[in-house]
Amino acid sequence: MKKVSIWISTMRLRTLPLSISGIILASCFAEYNGCFDWLIFTLAILTTLSFQILSNLANDYGDGIKGTDNNDRIGPDRAIQTGKISPDEMFNAIKLSVLISIGLAFFLIFASFGVKYFFLTLLFFLLGIASIAAAIRYTVGNNAYGYKGFGDVYVFVFFGLVSVIGCYVLYAKKIDHVVFLPAITIGLLSAAVLNLNNMRDIESDKKSNKLTLAVKIGIDNAKKYHVAIIVLAIILSGLFGILYFTSILNLIYFIAYIPLIIHIKKVLKCNDSKLLDPELKKVALTTVLLSVLMGIGHLL
């Protein structure tokens, strides 16, 4: 039982809600346009969770064997870092996670497109492979892009654009203009969560030569960048509310702006990167809240 609890902890369950926020939002748009399907929704959630768990395991492995996870790290302890799980055990878990992700992705694509939409089937198979590769290559390997400052791009694309737009296409078999602004919004807020993580770990990452964007541009510029992407997310989501307004209830997600504005003030005043860890969790939960309320508001 102790080993099971260690593996559950290694999967970092607290990161999972953020990963499915785009799925929930796209599903609400699908329901509004009359193309929602419970089987696709269930498989999309499971597939997304499998990708996120794979990413978490790969990050633990990549940072662990490179020594990036050490006593200087501020965030939660990692499994390889503490010696609770060996690198070989983690590598085997990654291989199993890849197989599960491939299986779930296959069933999701077949449930959505069957044999009728060949081009979309091929496109989403390639997208699935790209998602798996991106999840692993974030920290694993000599050319891990998370060590070169490209993690923000990965999060924006996969947590925002792919999650929202891709999921909607699974339902509707086509792209709808209604999903673009929400997809960009979720992508920006997800990138903000990663930036908080990178600002929190900036000193330990410097020592480990992990060149995140925060390390490259410095803490002061990282704060400015952080404020910019959150403000842009607020502006674009607000624009979405104006362009697709049918009822005052559509704008219920504006409630999520309050914790975001409070968060911006705290980040600008913060002089100790160690104090950013609680803010990371708040922004992640606020992103989930915004996505759920935006989706529900569109249905009202």
pLDDT digits (tens, 9 = 90+) for 260-275: 999 999 999 988 777 7
CA distance 19 to 21: 6
Q: Helix H segments across 116-179?
A: 118-137, 151-155, 167-172
Confidence category of residue 65, pLDDT binned at 50, 70, 90 = confident
Mean pLDDT of 12-34: 93
Three-state DSSP at 270 gives coil
The confidence score (pLDDT) of residue 81 equals: 75
Contact of 54 with 97, CB cutoff 8 Å: yes
CA distance 259 to 229: 15
pTM (2 d.p.): 0.93
Confidence category of residue 66, pLDDT binned at 50, 70, 90 = confident
CA distance 164 to 27: 9
